[in-house]
Amino acid sequence: MNPVGAYTEMAKKTIADVDVRGKKVLMRCDFNVPLDDECNITSDDRIVKALPTIRSILDRGGALILMSHLGRPKGQRDDKLSLAPVAKRLSELLGQDVVFSEDCIGPKTKAKAQALKNGDCMLLENLRFYKEETIKDKAAKEDAQLRQAKDDFAQQLADMADVYVDDAFGTAHRDNASMYTVPTVMEGKPRVIGFLIEKELKFLGQILSEPDRPFVAILGGAKVSDKIGVIENLVSKVDRIIIGGAMAYTFLKGRGKNIGNSLCENDFIDKALALLDQAAEADCEVVLPVDHRVVRELKPHAPHRVAVGDVDPGWQAVDIGPLAVKAFTDKIAGAKTVVWNGPMGVFEMPPFDEGTKEVALAVAKATDDGAGTIIGGGDSASAVKKLGLESKITHISTGGGASLEFLEGKKFKCLAILDEEE
């Protein structure tokens, strides 16, 4: 089974399938990079991961127009969220000047695009400086004025190019104008995926369609509500689900455990219990923490102790305890496929990062032992990178929210409309 096809119904054409020489290529990237207070890029990882697609287009004689969002400027210009630093860093990485357009649409931007020669590269200013970029498609369908605004914005972007490329997996689950409306209005022109999205679909698609077993899923983070769809989709596919982080306490309370002041989504207790029943029926083992690092007050290096079983009133669980660490790592050992999304505790606040660290090390060891391992972006990816374990993981997704929705089995309509392989 073609894993890309397994996800998108049919396999998608990539930029490698398009002769770009002499053509203007409009490419949606995810350059939502972290910046410090002086607007310096603190990690260029997202830029680096886009380079294979960018270089393929430039080396084959295409004129490339890059577009992306950065942060949440809410439809207004905010110089602190300008993509100018990205243009500078991209110029350094490519070894050539990248033209920067101080707007993403308009006559001046269009003129700059028309002036590009084969092998030239231009980056447009932050798409989200325009509210039209983030108008939801549902809202546009219900409001003719919003629909017209979104269509006009998308048309201005589309008019600059002969080819559309989507290589922004981090926003692949969104119906932003640049992700969905632009390729819609470019119907009849080549509309393909880049190598980064191809890689994401390959690994994520394969893990759901053809996993080596035992297949273990590790889920953490704060809210059960964020992971309900993932659990529902995975219980029939995996052999074991390990649940840590604050979301575990909704399950534990449902099972009659005292959880003290630990975070709990009381409205989702019944749903959590239903998920446990669903897992039992599917013969999927669910592993919950048996002990916890607890504090009276959550702050860095706060006095803490380990609570086994119940959590006393006035105390809050902030990480899994040593017994849970051993149980979790034992359950990861021997796995042939591992997918992990979400930390085991308040990992950004030492010493309550110990559980997340140990799980990260166990996943890295599983890779060494021959397992295919995938980190679903977000906080899990941050933890792995912080520990310097990136090379020990088979694939680290570039999209936290997108990878979650993928694991839920959702289809991304912005990918569905792109050209299919013949």
Catalytic site positions: 46, 223, 378, 401
- List Cβ neighbours of 111 (8 Å cut-off, separation of 6 or more): none
- Reference 122, options 149, 146, 104, 139; nearest CA is 104
Smallest Cα–Cα separation from 378: which of 335, 415, 416, 407?
407
CA–CA dist 218, 187 (Å, integer): 40
Question: What tokens does 395 get?
Answer: 């694939």
User: CA 197 to CA 4: how far, in whole Å?
Assistant: 10
d(CA 68, CA 126): 6
Distance, first Cα to last Cα, the chain: 16
Q: Residue 304 and residue 147: Cα distance in Å, rounded?
A: 54
Distances (CA, A) of 392 to 84, 118, 387, 395: 33, 39, 11, 9
CA angle at 389 for the pair 357 and 228, rounded to the nearest 5°? 60
Nearest to 339 by CA among 223, 250, 248, 230: 230
Q: Using CA atoms, how far apart are residues 307 and 376, in angstroms rounded to an integer?
A: 29
Beta strands 372-375 and 395-396, pairing class = parallel
- Helices 378-386 and 354-368 cross at an angle (nearest 10°) of 80
Helix (H, G, I), strand (E, B) or coil at 99: strand
**Distance, CA of 228 to CA of 71 (rounded, Å):** 27
Q: Report how far residue 155's alpha carbon sits from residue 182's, in angstroms, rounded to the nearest whole number.
A: 7
Contact 134, 171 (CB under 8 A): no
Task: Give whole-number Cα distances, 18 to 38, 62, 84, 199, in Å.
Answer: 40, 10, 29, 18
The residues, any chain, with a CB within 8 Å of residue 325's CB and separated by 6 or more, are: 354, 355, 358, 359
